[in-house]
Amino acid sequence: MLIEIRPVARLRGEKAIDITPAVSEMIGALCEDSVDLAKVRLVCDWVQYKHNFRDVVDVRQISPGTSADQLEVAVDLRRAKDVDLRAAAREVLGYADRPDLLPRMPLEHWTAGSQSCIWDFNALYWKALGEWERATGQMYESALPGGESDARNQAAVRDLISDMFRIWDDLSERRSLPEELYVVELGVGNGNQAKAWLDEFVVMDRERGTDYYRRLHYLMCDYSQHVLDIARKNVTDHATKTSSVILDATKPTEALGFLRFKVFLVYISNVYDNLPCDDVAQIGGRHYLVETRAYLNQPDAEAIAKSISVEPAEVPNQISRLLRLGPELLAEASPDNFADTDAAVEFWRQCWQAVRLAERYVPIQGLDLYEVAPGVTGEMLRPQLEAGGDIRIHVTNGAVASFTDTIPLLHPFGRLVCHDLFTTDVMQNRTGFRGPGKYDGSVVNWCNGPLLAHIGSRKGFDVRFAPFAHRKGTNIITMTAQVRD
């Protein structure tokens, strides 16, 4: 039996938490003889997200249905003391060979993490944000690291704009600055970031007397019409300089192809960590894709069913209708189950709170056969998967797709600047839990920085990471990509 304890900071120092009772209870449950210990890996995480997709104890089959099958037993040390751990472990271990028989209500078939319906929940959150925020009384920004978007930080914005002005001044001197100056923002949220940027731009442009504002086009892009409408209202002072574009951030050239080689700044904050993501792993020298399946625990499914007057078996169907229609239309279509939109939103919130992800490890037959994103094969993951020892990493598929489809838009002197949660060293996957977690109604997943840097470098881009410079103690990292000198 192999025991892996992720060495998070909380395990060390004067205020270290005592993990001995949890580990001892888990070993006690495992030694009750329901599983073959020779095949077990016990993985102990500290899941820092208060709301997440995991039960305190989970079992994951490795190579299910083959002679090489093994079992991963996962425990969340943060919540271990809140439950009868031995009983929780005993329950899931009892189903180790047949997890399909656990008292759970599946919401989908086994699939790669990026294809899970949790991403439909995520998209619904942004599309129907107004209804959600009305119900919770809480704005989405308060769930972000630091309680507000770092893209609003005035000092950070000034630095960004002055760097860009330097480049424009240079090009202008050489009579090479185009008349039209394009800036693209992907994933605009409430538009606070656009407003902060544009307000500062005007001030700095006036101070310098450069008249760049007259030539500026700021394109606010998002896949949610609702979000774009809010953002648009927020930048009414700059109405003649801004346009709103509906697009999927994972394929920006579909809408913005006309801007190829023209954009001086692509500005992104807190979006990459919100795009669909698979996990892959190397265990015992073999490569695996982590397949997931969203489910509700039976008691949660029963409580939710009761609240909308249906049988528990009907809940998955109601959830898929919610994800297709949104709360307002769902309430209109099913007045017997939902008195009004608020009732449908309440149903949505209950489901989101309860939804969990089961996981299993399925062998990848060849890394070249696994697609990270269009035009990017799993071979790009090899250096990380084979960095030494067992490892599990995020593939960050949505962010990779977005990145590779955005850089063709950049002017040769343009830059992509992204504030987000990134790992910057593959070993960080061993030393902490990197998601997915739940932020209010959306998903958060740390992005694989070394992978983006590796892919960027193959395409002639220099990709750098630096801690966000304007707020102490933050996990936010600023990624900058530009054509290599």
Give the whole-angstrom CA distance, residue 156 versus residue 269. Answer: 12
Nearer to ligand SAM, 52 or 70 (CB): 52
Nearer to ligand SAM, 89 or 443 (CB): 443
Q: Minimum CB separation from ligand SAM for residue 350, in Å?
A: 22
Nearer to ligand SAM, 74 or 249 (CB): 249
Q: Which helix (H) or strand (E) holds 288?
A: strand 286-297
Is residue 248 near ligand SAM by the rule CB under 6 A?
Answer: yes
Binding mask 217-236 for ligand SAM (x = CB under 6 A): -----xxx--x---------
Report the residue from 64, 99, 113, 189 that binds ligand SAM according to the rule CB under 6 A. Answer: 189
Is residue 406 near ligand SAM by the rule CB under 6 A?
Answer: no
Give the whole-angstrom CA distance, residue 281 versus residue 381. Answer: 10
Rounded to a whole number of angstroms, the CA Rg of the chain reads 24
Q: Minimum CB separation from ligand SAM for residue 270, in Å?
A: 4
Site stretch for ligand SAM (CB under 6 A), options 6-14, 38-46, 264-272, 361-369: 264-272
Nearer to ligand SAM, 187 or 449 (CB): 187
**DSSP secondary structure letters along 403-436:** HHHHGGGEEEEEEEEEEE-EE-SGGGGTSS----
Name residue 416's amino acid.
Answer: L
Residues 410-421 as b or e (16 or more Cβ within 10 Å = b): bbeebbbbbbbb
Residue 309: both structure tokens together: 């007057």
Report the residue from 113, 187, 441, 449 that binds ligand SAM according to the rule CB under 6 A. Answer: 187
Nearer to ligand SAM, 255 or 362 (CB): 255
Q: Minimum CB separation from ligand SAM for residue 225, in Å?
A: 10
Give the whole-angstrom CA distance, residue 253 versus residue 405. Answer: 6
Report the residue from 114, 242, 270, 292 that binds ligand SAM according to the rule CB under 6 A. Answer: 270
Is residue 52 near ligand SAM by the rule CB under 6 A?
Answer: no
Report the residue from 121, 126, 218, 433 that binds ligand SAM according to the rule CB under 6 A. Answer: 126
Residue 210: both structure tokens together: 């450069």
Residue 422 CA neighbour count, 13 Å, CB half = 26
Q: Minimum CB separation from ligand SAM for residue 237, in Å?
A: 19
Site stretch for ligand SAM (CB under 6 A), options 11-19, 90-98, 263-271, 407-415: 263-271
Q: Which residues pair with 417 in a beta bridge?
A: 267, 480
Site stretch for ligand SAM (CB under 6 A), options 199-207, 212-220, 253-261, 270-278: 270-278
Nearer to ligand SAM, 80 or 275 (CB): 275
Nearer to ligand SAM, 363 or 408 (CB): 408
Residue 279 CA neighbour count, 13 Å, CB half = 22
Helices (H), 38-178: 85-93, 118-127, 129-136, 154-173
Site stretch for ligand SAM (CB under 6 A), options 61-69, 102-110, 248-256, 365-373: 248-256
Region of residue 139 (phi > 0: left; psi between -120 and 50: alpha; otherwise: beta)? beta
Give the whole-angstrom CA distance, residue 120 versus residue 273. Answer: 15
Distances (CA, A) of 217 to 28, 175, 338, 442: 64, 20, 44, 30
Report the residue from 114, 116, 149, 282 that binds ligand SAM according to the rule CB under 6 A. Answer: 149
Is residue 242 near ligand SAM by the rule CB under 6 A?
Answer: no
Nearer to ligand SAM, 42 or 221 (CB): 221
Residues that bind ligand SAM (CB under 6 A): 126, 141, 149, 151, 187-189, 193, 222-224, 227, 248-250, 269-271, 274-275
